Amino acid sequence: MNPSIILTPIAKITRTHGPCSLSDYNEQIERGRGGMQLMWDDASGNPTNEVGGLFGFVHNSSHVEIHFVTNILPTTSRLDSWSHNVGQRDRNVLYLSHMITSIPWNVWCDELQITIWRELCTRRVADENKHNSIYNYVNHDYDVETGEIFVH
């Protein structure tokens, strides 16, 4: 089996109180536009233990944006802007590549059968068949030594 796949749902509307995945996502998009590193929290229990896995920003009922995990850093590397996400302070920080591909929701649900209804929390894809389906659809590899992304 390939390295892990982490999925995280992105809210459709901005929350005015407490943590907001849409605000955090928008912050990362702006960081990327500014040439800075994209980053996100690992799933609970820090299941990402090697570079080269996939990470998906899930926009429920729309699409899933796929990135490679390019580095894994300790919780001390969390951004100051994440300080109000109190429940996630024990999660490692994942560095992400630019977006590799966007998978339409109908393909994600009907063809790949990854999500039946919607994603509710950041999680690892544990089912081997679903895991392999995503890797086969993405059809890209990440060279850990060089940081290059290539189509296979």
pLDDT tens string 80-126: 887 666 556 788 999 999 999 999 999 999 999 999 899 999 999 99
State pLDDT tens for residues 7-41: 999 999 888 777 788 989 999 999 999 999 999 99
Q: What is d(CA 78, CA 89) in angstroms, rounded to the nearest whole number?
A: 8
Contacts with 5 (C-beta within 8 Å, 6 or more apart), sequence order: 53, 54, 55, 56, 124, 125, 131, 134, 135
The tokens describing 49, both together, are 């233990």
State pLDDT tens for residues 46-89: 999 999 999 999 999 999 999 999 999 998 888 888 766 655 67
pLDDT of res. 93:
94
First to last CA, the chain: 16
92 HSE (CA, 13 A, CB side): 18
